[in-house]
Amino acid sequence: MHETVTISIGECGNNIGAQFWRDCCTQSDLSVSGHSLHPQVSPPSHLFEEQVSSRFVPRAILLDSDPGTLANIRNSDLGFLFPPSAYISGSYGAGNSFGNGCYDPDLLELIQEPLQNQIRIHAEKCDQTPNFNLFHSLGGGTGSGTTAFVLMRLKEEYNTSVFNCSVLPEPDACVVSPYNCILGLNYLIESSSAVLCIDNGYLTAKLGIGEINQYTSRQLVGMFESEKWWIPKYDQDAAYYQRHFYHSETMWKGEIVTSCLVSDTGAKVIQEIDFGNTKLYNSGVIQSIKQQLDRFDLMFKRKSFVYGHSKCMDEFEYVEASERAHELLEIYEKCEDSTLTTNKQIE
Ligand SMILES: Nc1nc2c(ncn2[C@@H]2O[C@H](COP(=O)(O)OP(=O)(O)OP(=O)(O)O)[C@@H](O)[C@H]2O)c(=O)[nH]1
Ligand SMILES: [Mg+2]
């Protein structure tokens, strides 16, 4: 199986990453410092690199503009699982601004070189060009903006499959979250091979944040450890498959939980991938993307907060991001007529 390098980005991405690696260790009979508890069982080699004396190190990079989240992980029981070089941070957060996360020269000066070095070192240890997993929120400045920056670098230098686990903001998240979300979405449309959408707006009504992370991690572990795990390489010509925005269904505490609020009237499913406990559905009726886009358009029409939000950006990027998001939703609407449609009712 293709080796996979996982990059957790921003606070949310690193919280999900921490839970994910903890669960991967449990699943593979590793201690939280990566030592094998049952030497006859090996963890999946696409996720872990084997070092001397039955120690396994995640193929992982932990990235944040703000050093606080990474310090928490480093000081936790998971701290020794990752080598010191895996932690890459700036000196202050992106302040909920996509522009800061993506373009702030002070931030890029601190993170760009170590990030590129770490990716290269991981890639050199892989048999073939690795795939990448990116975990992040779309509501935060780092989660949206720095993820966009990473996506551009990966596309330029590696041109391989990139899977995103992207957390959509809840309605009462920061007021500029719709800007971050739609600006970030533009880069996902452009460069990601597959996006698993986790909708905080929908899930926070049912679960606490810790539980959402456990639930998210469970899906990710189920997918990546499955024999069936695969992501198609991003392909510009494949009209449907470049629109890979999935939601999932997983068994969670005896109930089937879905990761996103889908249409009230039932979702049009273009593609279904079954990983056993977790099923992915490629469906364009993820309501919160629509809601975020409506809020984006309303705010941008009035130019609300644009001045403070777009310090490092051209306003044209807002216009383009809105157009791309509308186009994405329209493409999904057209899929209604497609032969791939099964009209399976999700809820
Ligand atoms: N599911 C989930 N959502 C989270 C978590 N932490 C933060 N969020 C959500 O993420 C969004 C805020 O983004 P963060 O990830 O905190 O921000 P960031 O990427 O660190 O960016 P800046 O702090 O602006 O530099 C909001 O929608 C939060 O509710 C988490 O652990 N799990
Ligand atoms: Mg932060």
b vs e for 228-267, b when ≥16 Cβ sit within 10 Å of the residue's Cβ? ebebeebeeeeeebbbbbbbbbbebeeeebbbbbbbeeeb
For residues 51 and 92, give the distance between their C-alpha atoms in angstroms, rounded to a whole number. Answer: 33
Q: Judge if the beta carbon of residue 5 lies within 6 A of ligand 1.
A: no
Cα-based angle 203, 209, 215 (whole degrees, multiple of 5): 65
CA distance 345 to 220: 23
In the chain, the domains with their CATH numbers are: 4-244 (3.40.50.1440)
Q: Which helix (H) or strand (E) covers residue 58, if one does?
A: strand 55-58
Longest dimension (CA), the chain: 62
Q: Which ligand lies nearest the alpha carbon of 96?
A: 1
- pLDDT of the residue at 342: 39
Q: E-strand spans in the chain?
A: 4-9, 48-51, 55-58, 60-64, 87-89, 131-137, 162-168, 194-199, 245-252, 255-258, 269-274, 278-283
**Cβ contacts of 139 within 8 Å, gap of 6 or more:** 12, 96, 167, 168, 169, 170, 173, 174, 177, 180, 181, 200
- 101 CA closest ligand 1 atom index: 25
For the chain, the first-to-last Cα distance in angstroms comes to 33
Ligand 2 centroid–CA 153 distance in Å is 21
pLDDT along the chain (347 residues), means of 10: 93 98 95 90 90 90 98 96 97 95 96 98 94 97 98 94 95 94 95 92 93 95 79 57 77 87 63 83 76 96 84 90 91 61 33
Query: Which two three-digit tokens encode residue 97?
Result: 């601004």
Q: Is 184 in the pocket of ligand 1 (CB under 6 A)?
A: no
Q: Is 12 in the pocket of ligand 1 (CB under 6 A)?
A: yes
Q: Which residues lie below 8 Å from residue 123, measured CB to CB, with a gap of 6+? A: 5, 129, 130, 158
Q: What is the pLDDT of residue 336?
A: 57
What's the gap in Å between 100 CA and the centre of ligand 2?
12
Ligand 1 probe mutation, 167, 180, 312, most atoms within 8 A of CB: 167
Angle at 251 between CA 245 and CA 254, to 5 degrees: 150
Distance CA(189)–CA(276), nearest Å, equals 27
What is the number of residues in the chain? Answer: 347
Q: Which residues contact 343 (CB under 8 A, 6 or more apart)?
A: 266, 268, 269
Residue nearest to atom 30 of ligand 1 (CA): 12
Ligand of minimum distance to the alpha carbon of 15:
1
Which pLDDT does position 264 carry in this prediction?
54
Specify the ligand 1 atom closest to the Cα of 13.
15
Contact 277, 251 (CB under 8 A): yes
DSSP state of 233: P
Q: Which ligand is nearest to the CA of 139?
A: 1
Looking at residue 234, what is its pLDDT? 58
Question: Cβ–Cβ contacts within 10 Å for residue 221, how many?
Answer: 23
For residues 131 and 2, what is the distance between their CA atoms, to the nearest angstrom? 7
Q: Is 139 in the pocket of ligand 1 (CB under 6 A)?
A: yes
3-class secondary-structure state, position 231 = coil
Q: Which bin fits 276, alpha (ψ -120 to 50), beta or left (φ > 0)?
A: left
Quick count: other Cβ atoms within 10 Å of Cβ 37?
Answer: 12
Give the pLDDT score at 73: 98
Residues linked to residue 167 through DSSP beta bridges, in sequence order: 137, 198
pLDDT given at position 296: 97
Q: What is the pLDDT of residue 267?
A: 53
pLDDT of residue 237: 53
Ligand 2 center–CA 14 separation, angstroms: 10
Specify the residue with its C-alpha closest to ligand 1, atom 14.
140
